[in-house]
């Protein structure tokens, strides 16, 4: 999509939300083989700055550096084979195609596109942020700060847990923490790419986080948890 639309004035910037830095992002970016800018976001600045809460999410910014669509779940350009397979499994190709059509409409029609929102709409549609949301960011940044210096110390874990409790719908904060734990326990090895993808404790694993995927599903989406027959759900 980028290669088709770049001559018409569209650029893509991909941002990897990963505390462990560019060495982790690089193989994925190289596999995607695109010429667009690729950035690294160790502290999940995208969450703080724009209200990103999950990945992948996409923001539209116009020729004047003005946001015309705030973050929304979309995967027009899954980066790397793993992400592409994930989109095929989970994302739904129809939705992906619909989204690409929206982008095409914007490239063709610019500000006249019905998908390009006014500044007031952009602000109004951006993620809710009560005071607790700002606190969540502060705690996540402290978690990352301590993690970078001393690994998953008690205080790093305490700050991750605070961030998770203060903003429970922030999935990047959770999955990043779980990934850091899994990588620490595997001695930094991730041969098939799935180690980073850990979402919940295995068997009797000592799990330092207050949340995990299963617990969150039971707490926030009990019907879906039951359909998925998660441990502890009504169908378990």
Taking CB under 8 A as the criterion, which residues in 111-140 touch another protein?
Answer: 119, 122-124, 126-131, 133-139
Q: CB–CB of 60/116 below 8 Å?
A: yes
Q: Which of 95, 97, 98, 110 binds another protein (CB under 8 A)?
A: 110
Q: Tokens representing 124?
A: 């109004």
216 binds another protein (CB under 8 A): no
Of 120, 165, 110, whose CA–CA distance to 143 is shortest?
165
Closer CB to another protein, residue 66 or residue 205? 66
Closer CB to another protein, residue 215 or residue 233? 215
Distances (CA, A) of 60 to 70, 129, 172: 7, 20, 20
CB of 105 to another protein, least distance (A): 11
Closer CB to another protein, residue 28 or residue 218? 28
Of 147, 189, 114, 117, whose CA–CA distance to 21 is shortest?
147
45 binds another protein (CB under 8 A): yes
103 binds another protein (CB under 8 A): yes
CB of 12 to another protein, least distance (A): 5
Closer CB to another protein, residue 157 or residue 233? 157
Q: Which of 7, 33, 64, 188 binds another protein (CB under 8 A)?
A: 64
CB of 29 to another protein, least distance (A): 7
Closer CB to another protein, residue 85 or residue 223? 85
CA–CA distance, 69 with 90 (Å, rounded to integer):
23
Cα dihedral 133, 136, 142, 144 sign: negative
197 binds another protein (CB under 8 A): yes
160 binds another protein (CB under 8 A): no
Contact window for another protein (CB under 8 A) among 10-18, 90-98, 215-223, 227-235 = 10-18
Q: CB–CB of 218/199 below 8 Å?
A: no
CA–CA distance, 55 with 179 (Å, rounded to integer):
14
Q: Which of 51, 157, 160, 211 binds another protein (CB under 8 A)?
A: 51
> DSSP 3-state assignment of 38?
strand
Closer CB to another protein, residue 182 or residue 226? 182
**Contacts with another protein in 164-193 (CB under 8 A)?**
172, 175-176, 178-179, 193
Cα dihedral 28, 32, 33, 38 sign: negative
Query: What torsion do the CA atoms of 41, 125, 175, 149 make, to the nearest 10 degrees?
Result: 40
């Amino acid at each position: 999509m980028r290669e088709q639309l770049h001559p018409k004035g569209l650029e893509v910037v991909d941002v990897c939300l990963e505390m462990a830095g560019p060495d982790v992002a690089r193989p994925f970016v190289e596999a995607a083989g695109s010429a667009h800018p690729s950035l690294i976001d160790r502290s999940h600045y995208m969450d703080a700055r724009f209200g990103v809460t999950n990945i992948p999410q996409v923001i539209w910014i116009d020729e004047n550096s003005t946001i015309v669509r705030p973050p929304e779940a979309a995967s027009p350009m899954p980066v790397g084979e793993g992400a592409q397979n994930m989109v095929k499994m989970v994302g739904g190709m129809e939705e992906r195609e619909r989204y690409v059509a929206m982008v095409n409409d914007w490239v063709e029609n610019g500000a006249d596109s019905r998908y390009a929102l006014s500044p007031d709409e952009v602000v109004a549609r951006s993620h809710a942020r009560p005071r607790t949301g700002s606190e969540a960011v502060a705690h996540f940044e402290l978690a990352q700060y301590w993690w970078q210096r001393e690994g998953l110390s008690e205080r790093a874990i305490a700050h991750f847990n605070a961030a998770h409790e203060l903003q429970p719908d922030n999935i990047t904060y959770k999955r990043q923490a779980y990934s850091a734990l899994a990588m620490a326990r595997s001695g930094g090895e991730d041969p098939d790419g799935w180690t980073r993808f850990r979402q919940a404790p295995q068997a009797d694993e000592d799990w330092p986080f207050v949340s995990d995927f299963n617990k969150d599903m039971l707490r926030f989406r009990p019907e879906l948890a039951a359909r998925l027959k998660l441990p502890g759900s009504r169908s378990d």
